[in-house]
């Protein structure tokens, strides 16, 4: 019976017979163990791992000069460092070893410290401790501080470094280290630093010779402790910190390209450079750094509760920003703020003077050192990157409604070599944001701003002339808005850049600056119209400017009235297009309103004291317009335009004195003919005026009402 059963397999699972699943699982585990064993074997045989083990185990005092084993292992580390970068463990080992050396190899080891990801803070703190040993050559000490400045944003945390702030500060007295220590302190300084008051007083007493790097650090201390720093510091002084990244820059860029991630540094590498060129001509190679600065893992998971500090990179909404507004920690890479809307909201709401000071410093370096204006060597890609950079900068300035002093200083240098076409719209946009209180004297503003612009204006195309006039009109409008916002009783307190030093100017100084700008545009407009044959497009932009000028008293509450020069008034009056004449009529009407309003306020403390010359010019212009357009008394005595009687007779123009009235004016002649065909031959004069008004010439209507 049993033999007749067809049994294909066991009916009940027997533990003594392994299943296919368990066999497969044990096979996989065995494969993993074999792979792990093979990996460890290969790792043990890896020359780089052996080299790191050598440097971690080497005994103190081991000679390195002439040591073949040392040379072999260092070559292996350099090979990996310059190709892939060193891991955090490798950075810690090699930094510790380099700081223990006393001779030339120390510099060589420091130069190969190219991080692949982050730099452990503990390793930097231990290396700083080595500085007090006194056995490290001064050149190696300087190189170490330069390295810290270069990789500052790659350090995984800063709390321990700020904890030894006072220890680092002691090296300010070292002459060779002082410029670099000041730069490091500048990056580490926070308002919460408990010893800031003591240190700023010490630095103030130590300050000798007014070195730029000391002044730059002291300016930051003055923001936090203005009552202790009584030294007068210019708000827009020359950059005090230099570029320190030369030994590592090219290697960092190479590692960055291979890893595909951006390597950031505090100020030395403000942009990711796309390609290296052997040409001496510089190229546009600009990108804003990202805000994903290196922070420790604990900070990434949850904000610090004890210190009430929240890194800005952790905030992702405006609601979170409002909740943590007064405990935000800004990134060390200040350039990343310009690419974050939350960061701009923070700067606009909190008005953190130290943040704006550091941002100005970063931007000044970026514009002067990395924005490279080469007209014939830059590729289209590089120009596009430069355009995107400047557009983002313009967006930031428009968002904050103020310009940066560093961009102003850059423009004064850039205008000397600018051809007027390279990145025209962006440069003109930056020009319009120049603050009402320039960083240079009145004499220098004519030399560095007005003269270059005048040369470009007279030698460039019609479209550049129009763009420049529009730019100066925007500049004037922003100055007038600043006056409206910051005008305080008898003084004008304007801080366009919210800089670390309070800037005050009297109302008289502000009016003088405004008059210089208006007179400058008047000179450009008068000559530009002649050069371009009184082009209607250029005249339109010029009239836009004077529409702003004519309403300064009523609209902007500025006790100042300035009339256009004759080189603008007469071309507009005798223009062949009716729009220009209509706009001139509107401008004269607004002048009438402003002067009447100023006259009614002349007994008040802030009375608008108008010069006699301005009143004479306005009355003369009004008389000319009324006689030409209304009274038909062209070329009469005292009209400003004198032609000999013989010349007028030779022209064979009957009743030449009526050539520029509302009927015969070249701008309105076609309307007069059209009206003549539509209306009876005899009709009231007012009918023709109403016909002109119906065509949309409201400026003429308002002008006629005040004649």
Q: 374 — alpha (psi -120 to 50), left (phi > 0) or beta?
A: beta
Q: What is the dihedral of CA 406, 316, 296, 74, to 10 degrees?
A: -60
d(CA 422, CA 322): 41
Write phi, then psi, for 216 (nearest 5 degrees): -65, -40
**What pLDDT, on the 0 to 100 scale, is given for residue 273?**
33
Average pLDDT over residues 145-173: 86
H helices then E strands: how many in the chain?
A: 32, 5
pLDDT tens, 628-681?
888 877 766 666 666 677 776 777 667 666 777 888 788 888 888 888 787 766
Instruction: Give Cα 73 to chain centroid, integer Å.
Output: 46
pLDDT tens, 584-633?
999 999 999 999 888 887 656 556 678 888 999 999 999 888 888 888 77
Average pLDDT over residues 253-267: 58
Name 458's Cβ contacts closer than 8 Å, sequence gap at least 6: 527, 528, 531
Instruction: Give the residue among 285, 268, 288 at the shortest CA–CA distance from 276.
Output: 285
Average pLDDT over residues 252-259: 72
Per-residue pLDDT at 276 exceeds 60:
no
pLDDT tens, 310-333?
888 888 888 888 888 888 877 767
Q: Are 110 and 143 in contact (CB under 8 A)?
A: yes
d(CA 682, CA 703): 25
Give the rounded percent of residues in the chain with a pLDDT score beyond 70: 69
pLDDT tens, 436-491?
766 666 667 878 889 999 999 999 999 999 999 999 999 999 999 887 776 644 44
Three-state SS annotation for 68-122: HHHHHHHHHHHHHHHHCCECHHHHHHHHHHHHCCCCCHHHHHHHCCCECCCECHH
The SS3 of residue 119 is: strand
Average pLDDT over residues 76-93: 89
Q: Are 251 and 222 in contact (CB under 8 A)?
A: no
Bridge partners of 229, per DSSP, are none
**What pLDDT, on the 0 to 100 scale, is given for residue 202?**
59
Write phi, then psi, for 304 (nearest 5 degrees): -75, 120
Instruction: Give Cα 60 to chain centroid, integer Å.
Output: 50
Q: Are 328 and 376 in contact (CB under 8 A)?
A: no
Q: Confidence class of residue 494 from pLDDT cuts 50, 70 and 90?
A: very low
**What does DSSP assign to residue 115?**
B
**What pLDDT, on the 0 to 100 scale, is given for residue 637?**
65
d(CA 487, CA 505): 10
d(CA 302, CA 311): 10
* pTM (2 d.p.): 0.70
**What does DSSP assign to residue 640?**
S
Q: What is the dihedral of CA 147, 254, 374, 337, to 10 degrees?
A: -60
Per-residue pLDDT at 230 exceeds 60:
no
**What pLDDT, on the 0 to 100 scale, is given for residue 81?**
87
Q: Confidence class of residue 225 from pLDDT cuts 50, 70 and 90?
A: low
Write phi, then psi, for 538 (nearest 5 degrees): -65, -40
Which tokens hold the place of 248? 């590592």
**What pLDDT, on the 0 to 100 scale, is given for residue 508?**
79
Q: How many CB atoms lie within 10 A of CB 506?
A: 11
Q: What is the dihedral of CA 463, 468, 474, 477, to 10 degrees?
A: -120
């Amino acid at each position: 019976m049993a033999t007749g059963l067809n049994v294909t397999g066991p009916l009940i699972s027997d533990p003594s017979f392994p299943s296919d699943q368990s066999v497969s699982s044990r096979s996989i585990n065995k494969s993993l163990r074999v792979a792990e064993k093979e990996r460890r074997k290969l790792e043990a045989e890896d020359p780089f791992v052996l080299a790191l083990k050598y440097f971690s185990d080497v005994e103190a005092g081991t000679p390195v000069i002439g040591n073949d084993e040392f040379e072999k292992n260092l070559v292996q580390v350099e090979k990996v460092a310059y190709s892939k970068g060193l891991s955090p463990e490798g950075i810690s080992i090699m930094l510790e070893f380099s700081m223990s050396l006393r001779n030339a190899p120390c510099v060589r080891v420091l130069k190969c410290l190219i991080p692949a990801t982050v730099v452990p803070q503990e390793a930097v703190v231990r290396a700083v401790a080595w500085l007090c040993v006194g056995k490290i050559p001064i050149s190696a000490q300087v190189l170490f501080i330069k390295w810290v400045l270069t990789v500052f944003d790659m350090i995984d945390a800063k709390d321990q470094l700020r904890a030894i702030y006072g220890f680092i500060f002691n090296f300010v007295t070292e002459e060779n280290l002082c410029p670099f220590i000041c730069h490091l302190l500048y990056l580490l300084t926070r308002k919460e630093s408990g010893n800031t008051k003591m240190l700023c007083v010490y630095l103030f007493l130590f300050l000798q010779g007014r070195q730029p790097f000391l002044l730059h650090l002291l300016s930051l201390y003055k923001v936090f402790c203005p009552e202790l720093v009584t030294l007068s510091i210019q708000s827009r002084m020359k950059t005090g910190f230099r570029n320190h990244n030369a030994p590592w820059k090219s290697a960092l860029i190479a590692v960055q390209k291979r890893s595909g991630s951006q390597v950031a540094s505090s100020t030395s590498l403000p942009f990711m450079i796309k390609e290296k060129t052997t040409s001496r001509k510089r190229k546009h190679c600009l990108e804003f750094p990202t805000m994903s600065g290196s922070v420790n893992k604990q900070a990434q998971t949850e904000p610090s509760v004890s210190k009430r500090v929240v890194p800005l990179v952790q905030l992702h909404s405006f609601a979170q920003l409002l909740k943590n507004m007064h405990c935000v920690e800004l990134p060390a890479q200040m350039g990343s703020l310009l690419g974050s809307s939350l960061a701009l909201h923070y700067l606009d709401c909190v008005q953190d003077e130290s943040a704006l000071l550091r941002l100005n410093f970063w931007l000044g370096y970026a514009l002067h050192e990395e924005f490279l204006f080469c007209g014939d060597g830059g590729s289209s890609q590089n120009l596009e990157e430069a355009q995107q950079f400047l557009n983002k900068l313009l967006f930031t300035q428009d968002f904050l409604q103020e310009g940066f002093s560093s961009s102003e200083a850059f423009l004064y240098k850039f205008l000397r070599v600018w051809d007027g076409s390279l990145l025209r719209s962006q440069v003109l946009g930056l020009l319009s944001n120049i603050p009402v209180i320039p960083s240079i004297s009145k004499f220098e503003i004519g030399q560095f701003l007005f003269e270059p612009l005048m040369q470009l204006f007279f030698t460039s195309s019609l479209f550049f002339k129009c763009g420049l006039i529009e730019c100066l009109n925007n500049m004037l409008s922003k100055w007038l808005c600043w006056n409206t916002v910051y005008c305080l009783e008898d003084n004008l307190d304007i801080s366009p850049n919210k800089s670390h030093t309070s800037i005050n100017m009297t109302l008289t100084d502000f009016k003088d600056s405004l008059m210089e700008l208006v007179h400058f545009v008047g000179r450009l407009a008068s000559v530009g119209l002649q050069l371009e044959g009184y082009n209607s497009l250029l005249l339109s932009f010029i009239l836009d400017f004077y529409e702003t000028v004519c309403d300064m008293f009523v609209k902007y509450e500025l006790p100042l009235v300035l009339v256009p020069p004759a080189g603008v008034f007469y071309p507009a009056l005798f223009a062949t297009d009716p729009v220009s004449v209509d706009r001139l009529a509107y401008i004269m009407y607004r002048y009438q309103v402003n002067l009447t309003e100023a006259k009614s306020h002349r007994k008040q403390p802030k009375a608008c004291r108008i010069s006699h010359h301005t009143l004479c010019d306005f009355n003369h212009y009004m008389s000319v317009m009324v006689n030409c357009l209304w009274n038909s008394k062209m070329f009469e005595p005292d009209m400003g335009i004198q032609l000999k009687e013989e010349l007028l007779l030779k022209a064979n123009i009957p009743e030449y004195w009526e050539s520029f009235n509302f009927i015969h004016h070249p701008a309105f002649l076609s309307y007069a003919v059209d009206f003549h065909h539509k209306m009876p031959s005899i009709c009231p004069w007012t009918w023709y005026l109403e016909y002109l008004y119906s065509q949309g010439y409201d400026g003429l209507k308002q002008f006629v009402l005040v004649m």
